[in-house]
Structure 1
């Protein structure tokens, strides 16, 4: 198969949107996905589909979504041939950036220890049981699975990176459609205005990539129902209220970094955009133990983006990456 059957892949989600009175979003999504996969398909889709289809059938697979690694297990040990075929398919979906994952004993040591972020954030979340959740900039969907493991009723992740979608589908291949979680390859601005469909919206590692951070906060607010909760994680800089670092060009060799606010500035932004009860729940420096090159992500990583003579600074001379997590409520 060299074409992606997106209609079949997302059919359960389309039915769910219709049942919730969100037919307008379903119609819009179908148009967007048609353009993405049928009219202007990515040149690597055939290769990624081949890798996905290389993954062997493993009956009666089970998933543990509450471990550090999203863990898939089988009732019987895999044969050497099956294990080799499994690894071949998974390596065809490299690089793996967000995780980790454990596929029947094949451990994918991803660039990011995304479980560390989850462990920092999860103690401060409202009970996710039964909640409708949106994860903006979800990568390969690692945190989506963790949210589902906490009892979420439905999780929708969005990220325009198509490789992330096929990595996500490599997990879903084994756990089945009964798991109410989907990853849509769309951007934040592709969502309908005033959607107001989610109880909790996560935006982790996105805000500093936006030219207009206040517009991003307003977009996030529009995804939430009244009384909904925003979980926001972003790079920050030390400074008083009103201070925000804007790199001259790159930050940590990333081109698309625009604003790194102080924590007090970030709280002011949330207040000005209509959120209430905003509170900083965590501030953590990003280390080369949390983000690094691995056998599953062999490109440069954080160590290469820091000043070799002063690892407390980026290679451009800015303060090294520190991330804050803020939780706020929509009135």
Structure 2
């Protein structure tokens, strides 16, 4: 399903207010972990699937990449990317991830940040990525953690006084569509188990290098008191593999 909430004006305005939208990579809670998982970009051809505002594209180029292609379905996202992260060597392309086509062994590195839980077939996208990568090519991505996506509402269970009691996990092994609310809008996401993510990669022939359930940094825990709740359940899953 090729849903594109980000071109909805009210939704996009709310997205622009998020810390990661305003501060870029340093405003993303998982960045301090993801940064250490990324390979050397020197002289590499890079593809970013679901590039958003283009922060990862800029980072790759500033760290020596030869070329970077950023793919996103949202024209509003790409307009902002071209405005704030437009550098020589970066190409932004509007296309659904399901429709992307490239020759075999075109890229050295493929990235994706918090995008694949919007894509119906993880199996298909990993098959394509494996073909597009050169031998020894690196694929690094983040998704919402299966514990976070399982129950569907993506919200805490609250007590009578509004206190956060626990994070509900239900229907974990029932994969597929989840109708949830994000930034005040109904959004369709796709839940998958941890087994599905890892086995899809292994069956395609990838070698798993790292699997990290990202936690907030000590700095963010000190800066934002509400971040302490992020230690109660995993929100993000980060995976690095090699062809």
The question of a shared fold, defined as TM-score above 0.5 by the shorter chain, is answered with: yes
SS at match of 2:30: helix
- The answer for unaligned runs of 5 or more in structure 2 is 1-6, 151-171, 221-225
CA deviation profile, 1:55-91 (whole Å, cap 9, x unmatched): xxxxxxxxxxxxxxxxxxxxxxxxxxxxxxxxxxxxx
Compute the displacement of 1:111 (Å).
Answer: 11
What SS does the aligned partner of 2:59 have?
helix
What are the residue-to-residue correspondences of 1:201-280 with 2, within 5 Å?
Answer: 201-238=110-147, 244=173, 246=175, 249-253=178-182, 255-262=187-194, 264-276=195-207, 278-280=208-210
Which residue of the other structure, out of 78, 92, 96, is the alignment partner of 1:165? 78
CA gap of 1:250–1:99, structure 2 versus 1, over 3 A, is same
Q: How big is the shift at 1:201?
A: 0.2
| Cα distance in 1 for residues equivalent to 2:176 and 2:26 | 23
Q: Which has the higher contact order (CA 8 A, sep 6+)?
A: 2
Larger Cα-atom Rg = 1
In the alignment, which residue of structure 2 is the partner of 1:96?
A: 16
Query: Cα deviations across residues 191-235 of structure 1 (Å, max 9, x unaligned)?
Result: 225442110001221222222211121122222112211112112
SS at match of 2:129: helix
For residues 161 and 146 of structure 1, the distance between their equivalents in structure 2, rounded to whole angstroms, comes to 20
Return the TM-score normalized by structure 1.
Answer: 0.51
SS in 2 for 1:121: helix
| Secondary structure, counterpart of 2:82 in structure 1 | helix
Where structure 1 has 5 or more consecutive residues not aligned to the other structure, the ranges are 1-41, 45-92, 102-107, 291-302, 304-310, 313-318
| 1:255 counterpart SS class | strand
Alpha-carbon offset, residue 160 of structure 1 = 1.2
Change (3 A) 1:216 1:97: farther
Secondary structure class of the residue paired with 2:136: strand
* Paired positions, count: 200
Distance 1:154 1:99 in 2: 27
| Contact 1:98 1:110 (C-alpha < 8 Å) held by counterparts | no
**Residue 180 of structure 1 aligns with which residue?**
89
Judging changes above 3 Å, is the alpha-carbon distance between structure 1 residues 245 and 257 closer, same or farther for their aligned structure 2 residues? farther
The answer to whether the Cα contact below 8 Å between 1:97 and 1:111 also exists between their aligned partners in 2 is no
Cα shift at 1:250: 1.7
Contact kept? 2:210, 2:240, Cα under 8 Å? yes
Q: Distance in 1 between matches of 2:200 and 2:85?
A: 37
Question: Following the alignment from structure 1 to structure 2, what is the Cα–Cα distance between the partners of residues 132 and 99?
Answer: 29
CA, structure 1 residues 99+194, in 2 after alignment: closer, same or farther (shift >3 Å)?
farther
Cα separation, 2, equivalents of 1:142 and 1:110: 6
Change over 3 Å in CA distance of 1:97–1:154 after alignment to 2: farther
Whole-angstrom CA distance in 2 between matches of 1:249 and 1:326? 22
When normalised by structure 2's length, the TM-score is: 0.67
**Is 1:151 the equivalent of 2:64?**
yes
The equivalences for 1:13-92 within 5 A come to none
